[in-house]
Amino acid sequence: MREHWLLPDSPYRSYDAYLDAVGSRAVEVARGRPAAQLLEEIKKSGLRGRGGAGFPTGTKWATLANHPCRIRDAVVNAAEGEPGTFKDRWLLRYNPYAVLEGLLIAAHVIGARGLYVGVKASSTTEIARLTKAIEELAAAGVLAGSEIRVVPGPEEYLFGEEKALLEVIEGNEPLPREPHYPPYEKGLFATPFSPNPALVNNAETFAHIPSIVARGGESFRRLGTANTSGTCLYTISGDVLRPGVYEREAGVTLRELVHDAAGGPREGRQVKAILSGVAAPVITPSRLDTPADFASMEMAGSALGSAGFIVFDDSRSMPRLAQAVARFLYVESCNQCTACKHGLRTASEALDGIFGAPTSRADDYLRALYGARSAPQANRCYLPVEGAALIPSLLETFEQEFGTPHGHLASSSEPILIAQICDFDAERGVFLVDQRQARKQPDWSYAEEPRPSAIRVVSTPRDVDRAPVVVRLSSDLVPLLSERARSAGRTLDVLVNDAMREWLEQAAERGDRD
Ligand SMILES: Cc1cc2nc3c(=O)[nH]c(=O)nc-3n(C[C@H](O)[C@H](O)[C@H](O)COP(=O)(O)O)c2cc1C
Ligand code: SF4
């Protein structure tokens, strides 16, 4: 295993296999050194948080270590709900040991009492992997009496927001606390007399700690760029030939990630737009040579975020993309701050209106723009800030696709689904995106799945190998099947011949939906 790299070629089979590969016992090394010295080493490494904001890890740890309240906890954020990101779950599948060692080192440095890993209840593979790894660490005597609790959480995007994550650990809904209560000031099970500050770091951030402790901050800094040291776990998904999680030195260019690592778009297609999760302005192909590090991405007018890039090729409609992003953020907003839910609803409904929804008005384009921009006011968290950055960037960058003057668009272009990645299908080499998001309502309930009521075989030729089978579908089934086919990487051809067309027209006149 190369120094400071996190992902082995195949998942570590045991803690011993991990120790053999990395060649050091970082937790033991850390416990033999004073906390202040370790803090200096982490600061020297230049490590920045991999959860999205890129906050300097050494500074965050020092705040906790110096906090007047002696009751402190440490929390791994493995909620991973950003659309287009799968790196934390990949890391937990391949190398849960580095994450857990990082957590144990944090416990030593900040003097933490409770240790937690927040992970979605639906991430069953990762929970099983973590549970076994914790048992192994206990058997190896590395826990030294401390207990690591794995806390299964809900599906919501906000579960990963750090103040909401603490709420979930306390047994509540994933609703962000007020902004003046950051985790390093008010942590877990606080009382008026004891704020119990908590250290919350992303899973990948923790995973970088053991090698920094074992090999030194200077050595870590030699990888990556001046503003983003070390390696980075990049998730590349969408319209590319080889979607996946790729570990590269921070600062590799977007072109190397999209074209070299992920194979670029399908033959005959070109990259049209790239999203950095749903958290930053859209990236256009002219920016493909931007190094994927925190500062360069900002200079290019976007952000690195959690290094999850979703690629869209030139077959995609950008108004449809804006519609999907607005819908996702509107639905996921928790409605604690009025402007957030209201502004994102305005943007979402206006973009639906552009495609002829009953909410349609003449000024839909402008309502979408101003709705999104008005969302971040008195906001408890950054979700509306993300919407205010990304939605207008799509509207403005691709304004010509909205027509001149801004008009209403035919609803025939294929809708896009923006949702969390729920798994990686290794056999087909594709990410599976949570299809249930299409039915999720702004109150976080789910609309009933449209029932595919009518699939009736109307003619079955004897030799099915040579002739097509003709089936009659209910009209609401066609978009559903098209979406399923698309997510499976296939194309669904709906053929309507003359006889069928005549029959359909008669059926429509009769009001028959089958
Ligand atoms: C809506 C929203 C969702 C977030 N989801 C995640 C997440 O799934 N995982 C994560 O590590 N950070 C997430 N964050 C960022 C966290 O709030 C926090 O900044 C991060 O866990 C800090 O860790 P780091 O310093 O190691 O980056 C999210 C933030 C917002 C506003
Ligand atoms: S800003 Fe939006 S998502 Fe965040 S807490 Fe307020 S309403 Fe909820």
Find, among 199, 200, 233, 201, the residue nearest to 4 by Cα.
Answer: 233
What is the rounded distance in angstroms from the CA atom of residue 229 to the CA atom of residue 45?
7
Cis peptide before 405 (omega within 30 of 0): yes
Q: What is the pLDDT of residue 92?
A: 98
Integer Cα distance of 345 and 243 in angstroms: 32
β pairing state of 148-153 and 112-120:
parallel
User: 76 CA to middle of ligand 1, Å?
Assistant: 10
- pLDDT digits over 348-373, tens only? 999 999 998 888 888 999 999 999 99
Q: Taking CA 387 as the corner, what is the angle to CA 274 and CA 444, rounded to the nearest 5 degrees?
A: 110
Average pLDDT of the segment spanning 244-272: 97
Q: Is residue 384 in contact with ligand 2, taking CB distance under 6 Å?
A: yes
β-pair partners for 248: 232
Q: Can you tell me which atom of ligand 2 is nearest the CA of 334?
A: 8
240, with CB counted inside 10 A (0-12, 13-18, 19+), is: buried
What is the pTM (predicted TM-score) of this model? Answer: 0.88
Ligand 2 neighbourhood includes 381 CB (under 6 angstroms): yes
* Per-residue tokens: 228: 């983003």
Ligand with an atom nearest the CA of residue 382: 1
The CA distances from residue 201 to 117, 184, 198, 338, 468, in Å, are 10, 11, 10, 29, 55
Could you say which DSSP state residue 191 is in?
B
Nearest residue (by CA) to ligand 2, atom 1, is 379
CA–centroid distance, 244 to ligand 2, in Å, is: 31
DSSP assignment letter at 291: B
pLDDT value of position 262? 97
Crossing angle of helices 318-332 and 338-354, rounded to 10°: 150
Residue 472's CB: how many other CB atoms inside 10 A? 16
> Closest Cα to atom 6, ligand 2: which residue?
337
Closest residue CA from atom 7 of ligand 1: 160
> Residue 467's pLDDT band (boundaries 50, 70, 90)?
very low
Question: Which residues, listed in sequence order, are joined to residue 325 by a DSSP beta bridge?
Answer: none
- Beta strands at 244-249 and 421-425: parallel, antiparallel or unpaired: unpaired
Nearest to 375 by CA among 346, 418, 334: 346
- Residue 405 pLDDT exceeds 80: no
Distance between Cα 244 and ligand 1 center (Å): 21
> How wide is the angle at C-alpha 106 spanned by C-alphas 100 and 111, nearest 5°?
130
Give nearest CA residue, ligand 2 atom 8.
334
Contact 483, 435 (CB under 8 A): yes
Is 333 a pocket residue for ligand 2 (Cβ < 6 Å)? yes
The chain-wide mean pLDDT, for the chain, equals 92
Closest ligand to C-alpha of residue 161 is 1
Q: Atom of ligand 2 at shortest distance to CA of 341?
A: 7
Where do we find the tokens 């003619």? 459
Q: Name the percent of the chain lying above pLDDT 90.
A: 82
How far apart are the C-alpha atoms of 117 and 129, rounded to whole Å?
Answer: 12
